[in-house]
Amino acid sequence: MATPAPVRVSIVLPTYNERGNIEPLLAQLLPLRRQFDLEILVVDDDSADGTAELVRQLAHGEPAIRLIRRVGRAGLASAIKEGLLDATGDLAVVMDSDGQHEPGSVLRALETLQAGELDLVIGSRFHPGAEIRGLSGRRETGSTWANSVARFSLARAYGPLSDFMSGFFALRLDRVLPLIRAVDVNGFKFLYELLAVSGGRLRAAEIPLTFQPRSYGSSKLDLAVFWDFLISILHSLSFRLLPRRAISFGLVGISGVAVQLLMTALLMAGDRLSFKQALPVAVVAAASSNYLINNALTFRFQRLRGLGLLRGLLKFLLVASLPVLANVGLASAFYSFVSPDTFWAQLAGIVVVFVWNYAASSRFVWNTP
């Protein structure tokens, strides 16, 4: 009787400036060739520290290693999605490349996936059997809170799970691939987005992780990541009907309302300027504030810098000039003919311009559809 062919397994490793971590990680993963037909896909976001060059050298002597170098594309979720779509395995594992996920957990996840006829196995930092060594107290508290909020926004079938934000998971590609294609790569965490898209249809289980401290480099966690989490939650709660960028643009617009109202009040203080004189200055200040925040958060993967930032501001103000005039005109007319209330007069103008600013600036400033 012929020996059955080994199961083909793809391991997806998203990287950005992980030169100090990637070689020892690959060395620990390659022994899995003894049990599986193995491919390891390193999806690198054009690292500046030579990560891709090192992986290319290692791949010369090891056909199981594949390098996908992305230029002009960035983001953890999109790197994972691209790796999974390019994977040729029957089963796939996604894990971080910073050394915080133990390679020994890969075999346990694959065995659990096969034994239980599951679609998805998550490596959990918050499983009763897990051990956290590489997470600060503040980050552990933040992750616990984030998981609680995420559980509220996901299908009830996933209620028993404990780590919706994990970067370690294994899945059956044939069953999950249609959902992978639908994942929004601008999301906070790929796993959370996958669970949200699936609507409770995936048969999922967890294994405990021993979460290690980083060996080299620093965490990629920043304000933009927390912002993405907030947008992901609101996106799920809106039944995914509202575009993520529209939600983000709207939240930034709320901050612009505050800037405009504050600037108007300051300029009118002490009767220095009349409402109609202060309003145009306040509107331009609010538009500039919205542009800078959107550049840093909403469109961070198309973020403009240097002279491009200044050119983008000029484009943004030009694109917004028509609704700015509408804002000033409508607010002034509301103030003169409807109610001499500066708050409601300005709010009427602001509401009118939101849709135009979002659609036009997305296309002409940050070149996104």
CATH number, domain 8-232: 3.90.550.10
Q: Which residues of 51-64 are buried (b: 16+ CB within 10 A; e: fewer)?
A: bbebbeebbeeeeb
Give the pairing of strands 204-208 and 169-172.
unpaired
Question: Could you tell me the sign of the dihedral formed by the alpha carbons of 68, 49, 180, 115, in that order?
Answer: positive
Which DSSP symbol is given to 101? B
Q: Tokens for 79, please give them.
A: 């790197």
pTM of the model as a whole: 0.77
CA dist 210 and 227 (Å) reads 27
Domain coordinates in residue numbering, the chain = 8-232, 244-364
Count of CB atoms within 10 A of residue 275's CB?
Answer: 18
Burial class from Cβ neighbours inside 10 Å (0-12, 13-18, 19+) for residue 160 reads: exposed
**Which residue has tokens 């290692």?**
58
Q: Tokens for 184, please give them.
A: 């929004």
Count of CB atoms within 10 A of residue 217's CB?
Answer: 16
Q: Which of 59, 20, 54 is nearest to 41 (CA)?
A: 59
CA dist 112 and 60 (Å) reads 33
110 and 173 Cβ atoms separated by less than 8 Å: no
Q: pLDDT tens digits for the chain (369 residues)?
A: 556 778 999 999 999 999 999 999 999 999 999 999 999 999 999 999 999 999 999 999 899 999 999 998 888 899 999 999 999 999 999 999 887 788 889 999 999 999 978 999 999 998 988 787 656 556 667 677 888 888 989 999 999 999 998 999 999 999 999 999 999 877 668 999 999 999 999 999 999 998 776 666 555 555 677 788 788 888 888 877 778 788 888 888 888 888 988 999 999 987 778 888 888 899 889 989 999 998 888 887 788 999 999 999 998 888 777 666 666 676 677 677 767 777 766 666 666 667 667 777 777 777 776
